[in-house]
Structure 1
């Protein structure tokens, strides 16, 4: 789950899977002259990978030999699935599932219970015993997992084929590869990962989330929440995984991996922020398009040299993914479509991105459809704006293939699973939504991703979104998919050298030191000059405690950054945080844009008032916001129930 903190931070509709014309509803940016022509659509074959058999009786003993004659466990209809990455040989992928219906001990099958890590064959072969999957963590002795952490999310294999990062644990089969018959439960160890947050090394360590393994297998990227000023925040970090066989401080006092040489991927300097006051001209705002703003770390390039992250918007209300070189700090924008992008993976050769994106759903267009608005109100809105992407547990992601140069002109990527009739269970069934972290094969010819079927209460009943009955085996509501790029030739996986511990643009982390706050422009009246023409008059008001911005008001007068679109009108947003995870916005917009894409963004006379929990994505709004592009109106989604 991604979270873009406000202060801290389906195919393209109309032409699914094509690149020759702008999809209907997409307000494309002008072509960048220096970019090569957009790639043509390529052939893609999508199929489903096998999972353990499903039992509808999840009580003890419900997984009978009639359901699984091999006695190797069952899953329930809810599956508990989360796919991971490829093992280095390219013939299997990691995944998390939740086993159900196991018999009681001492039955040997009793070990197939609860959340576990499995590896799944992608080449049509089976493991000894006849299953296309193998459980790695089932039956691991308690002595081999002392101090382990409960969560097993985002299972990411190491390049040695012997270890998997899962949650805040490293699963290790010693000298054996995970897929080998010699990798039996008694040889598997589960070691916790600890992030020290005290000066003397005491305590259980800091809470970390959304871990991503660097391809060098030495470094780890992760995120950690902050709680200050009555609001939730977050920073991204990079650290070295250091095995500690006999720790003497901190808990657990068991063999573990410690995060050492940690860098917070943030610089507190005012001029390193995206929006700041020009120190030479105190009445002027500056927008630094090259600023590195890691709202949430999402992964790395396959050479390990770039970090990918959800960044501060480049255009107002448009949540995108960026990449920054860990040494030089050079930033590139990987996506720019107005819809929301979050989970991504970069190809082994670095030339392609596969992104889970809401494009085609029109979920975000009412907020972000008008292009080229400078990201000023985004000083207070990103947390709420990014949370609109889901309807509770229902996501609107579909996997999109985008070349290195990103969305541009009429090119808005290619939907990977576009081929299909959209019927229940089809690969492009809109009720089957993409989930986190698609992953490239080591040879660059395939991508594995997973989907979940919308289920109540995120659909059906009073909810405006309908439900459908699963067509999957046993009625399960999650599935593991593989997309093969049939015209591509396999290429050797890159050899990755260890990256440096030092990130020059970050800040070395000192355990126990105060957590910084993100600078923001203080109360005052400012002017932002358009790069081509016009100005924006900006008024900023802080809250009473001066811990955050309370209100931003902007008046645009013939404002243009590209010379192709001219913006006039007003926008005002007041933000509040009724609780740590809830964001409340009172938004008033009356914007008109002329030029290559005539557009308006208008709220009802009483304004648009949104209250949304950043963790549950329960959309509740009064009033309206409507963005109209070339005569096509985009409206907000209906309230969740």
Structure 2
């Protein structure tokens, strides 16, 4: 996945404001009390280490229902609950199947399974069932089966959104015994991107199903000014049994009435007014990568432009009014986000608590000025290869507010609860639910009654990769999961809750008033950017910042931003002084380098510094692999607590 692109977006200046302003008409309630949580591991098919024909023997799986591959990349991903709350979806990779005509030969390659979440089994005794295995080729013409990522359930219980396809079992529930391969159909999604309707589908990604089950949101890559970016879209999906244009000419779900979640007509997030005065428009909608919908489908969630320097957050924008809420404001990195169906809760995956991003984002209230060229770095350092620093957190509907930063779901040391499934209290290598060598992954998903949350973790592995071992001082530990499996699936139950009904969901209008109707064949709009020059940004309460922006004049040079702060303050309580300079360059579409110098001081209600070493901080990041190489140091100290940039490969 390409994490750095998520904040690169078109800006729309509407009525976007902070959560406190959006909700001014109704006061934000006090933060909720922490809830007791019970966490249960769900069973998965057995792991086999070989992909040789027949390696998945009856000794390993007596029922002949497949073995799955190990590893942490493109092998597994958890998905949705089915509407009944008794089953969880997952994408798996089957390996080692025997040759046909053996009945077990169908358990090969990428597939979607149902996993029992109620301690029962299917009729054959397995707690899982493959729903894509054995589907006849004539029932799945033109599908994209390279990945069935983010498997999601329609609320009718008979259809699934699996990657770029829709699985349909007709009148039968997917979990029922009547849903067999022969009466299962898989239809591809088709997004027409040519003026005459010819050709293959557009390259849509990160699809999320709207709660009305007739619309989706998705994202698509862009490439402009040497930087890979991303735009988001909202669209209706409509079954087309006999298309006469486009590929494939087979039954499919057409992605129609598409609206780009951007506009070229409105003011940008950052603009110049009154000569050389710089203005930051916090009322701008800047949808980079869309991440889903709230419980009633009235809002779409997304990663957008940072409101504070190097602080990547999640926002929600109302699809009709354009009102924006900043859902998270913790200096750590947040990305996966899921609203509960009753629209009262938000589950996120976040690096908060790990300290991973504090070296670059820990000083609060810095305007996002060096981010003009440097946003790639903070949105990529949150990972080290496939090693992530995510943990699942629970927030109320309002997100972060005041001193409330949510409840960490799987570690008792935060709120003093003793989780019934964890007696090791975060011991590395213990294999416990809170073992820090296990990493949270995208996406968490809610049960329809909002009492349970499914999520998954991967294990820090391999001394030959940057995750641990070798030149990395972090040790590797063997997995204690069955078969040494390096991923695991969990359900967190909020035991004090009573089941609640989903909020009513109306079918959403196709028109997004603040968006731009997509015209197939049209050029991708380019985001306006500031011209090279010297600008002044005034603090809301006092002081100012002098900003010198110079764009590069070669394909490898992105640009340089230098900022001098003089008693700059937005809140009138903390004051920023000093300077910061970042030069950014790109070797290719994936590899970015930064020459970073900081000497910032914050005084008043907070005493903080952000400083580089004598030779600065030089960082190169491969944003495809999220592998960091660096020299020098960047250190942030807040009220005596110090965070230093991670070493190369860690």
Contact 1:3–1:296 (Cα < 8 Å) also in 2: no
Distance in 1 (alpha carbons) for counterparts of 2:53 and 2:370: 54
Deviation of 1:56 (Å): 3.7
Contact 1:2–1:296 (Cα < 8 Å) also in 2: no
Matched, 1:191 2:199: no
Distance in 1 (alpha carbons) for counterparts of 2:558 and 2:50: 52
Deviation of 1:261 (Å): 0.6
SS for the counterpart of 2:90 is: strand
The correspondence for 1:260, drawn from 256, 280, 291, is 256
The correspondence for 2:306, drawn from 310, 313, 335, is 313
SS for the counterpart of 1:180 is: coil
Matched, 1:438 2:433: no
The correspondence for 1:415, drawn from 405, 408, 422, is 408
SS for the counterpart of 1:366 is: helix
Contact 2:218–2:290 (Cα < 8 Å) also in 1: yes
Deviation of 1:290 (Å): 2.1
Contact 1:584–1:609 (Cα < 8 Å) also in 2: yes
Matched, 1:624 2:633: yes
Q: Over residues 190-235 of structure 1, what are the superposed CA-to-partner deviations in whole Å (9 max), with x where a residue is unaligned? A: 1111221111111112211111111111111111111233321110
Distance in 2 (alpha carbons) for counterparts of 1:601 and 1:107: 64
2:459: which partner in 1? 453
Contact 1:464–1:640 (Cα < 8 Å) also in 2: no
Q: Over residues 375-416 of structure 1, what are the superposed CA-to-partner deviations in whole Å (9 max), with x where a residue is unaligned? A: 111112222211001111111111011122333444321111
SS for the counterpart of 1:380 is: helix
Contact 2:6–2:304 (Cα < 8 Å) also in 1: no
User: Which sections of structure 1, spanning at least 5 residues, go unmatched?
Assistant: 10-28
Q: CA RMSD, aligned part only?
A: 1.9
Distance in 1 (alpha carbons) for counterparts of 2:236 and 2:97: 38
User: Which sections of structure 2, spanning at least 5 residues, go unmatched?
Assistant: 10-19, 413-421
Q: Over residues 514-570 of structure 1, what are the superposed CA-to-partner deviations in whole Å (9 max), with x where a residue is unaligned? A: 111111211122111111111111121123379996111111111111112110111
2:417: which partner in 1? none
1:3: which partner in 2? 3
Bigger Cα displacement from structure 2, 450-459 vs 541-550: 541-550
Deviation of 1:37 (Å): 2.5
1:200: which partner in 2? 196
SS for the counterpart of 1:105 is: coil
Distance in 2 (alpha carbons) for counterparts of 1:61 and 1:6: 42
Distance in 2 (alpha carbons) for counterparts of 1:476 and 1:268: 48
Distance in 2 (alpha carbons) for counterparts of 1:465 and 1:291: 42
Alignment of 1:411-560 (within 5 A): 411-419=404-412, 420=422, 421-423=425-427, 424-456=430-462, 457=465, 458-544=467-553, 550-560=559-569
- TM-score of the pair, normalised by structure 1: 0.93
The correspondence for 1:607, drawn from 609, 616, 627, is 616
1:114: which partner in 2? 109
SS for the counterpart of 2:360 is: helix
Bigger Cα displacement from structure 2, 351-360 vs 323-332: 351-360
1:26: which partner in 2? none
Deviation of 1:122 (Å): 1.0
1:322: which partner in 2? 315
Distance in 1 (alpha carbons) for counterparts of 2:38 and 2:632: 44
2:174: which partner in 1? 178
Contact 1:4–1:310 (Cα < 8 Å) also in 2: no
Distance in 2 (alpha carbons) for counterparts of 1:439 and 1:637: 31
2:225: which partner in 1? 229
SS for the counterpart of 1:268 is: coil
Alignment of 1:361-400 (within 5 A): 361-400=354-393
SS for the counterpart of 1:383 is: coil
Contact 2:318–2:324 (Cα < 8 Å) also in 1: yes
Contact 1:266–1:294 (Cα < 8 Å) also in 2: yes
- TM-score of the pair, normalised by structure 2: 0.92
Q: Over residues 114-160 of structure 1, what are the superposed CA-to-partner deviations in whole Å (9 max), with x where a residue is unaligned? A: 11101111111111111111100000111111111122111111111
SS for the counterpart of 2:609 is: strand
Deviation of 1:96 (Å): 0.5
Matched, 1:634 2:643: yes
Contact 1:564–1:595 (Cα < 8 Å) also in 2: yes
1:131: which partner in 2? 126
Distance in 2 (alpha carbons) for counterparts of 1:175 and 1:495: 24
Alignment of 1:321-340 (within 5 A): 321-340=314-333
Contact 1:586–1:608 (Cα < 8 Å) also in 2: yes
Distance in 1 (alpha carbons) for counterparts of 2:554 and 2:108: 50
Distance 1:6 1:234, change over 3 A: closer
Distance in 2 (alpha carbons) for counterparts of 1:89 and 1:238: 27
Distance 1:109 1:546, change over 3 A: closer
SS for the counterpart of 2:68 is: coil
2:92: which partner in 1? 97
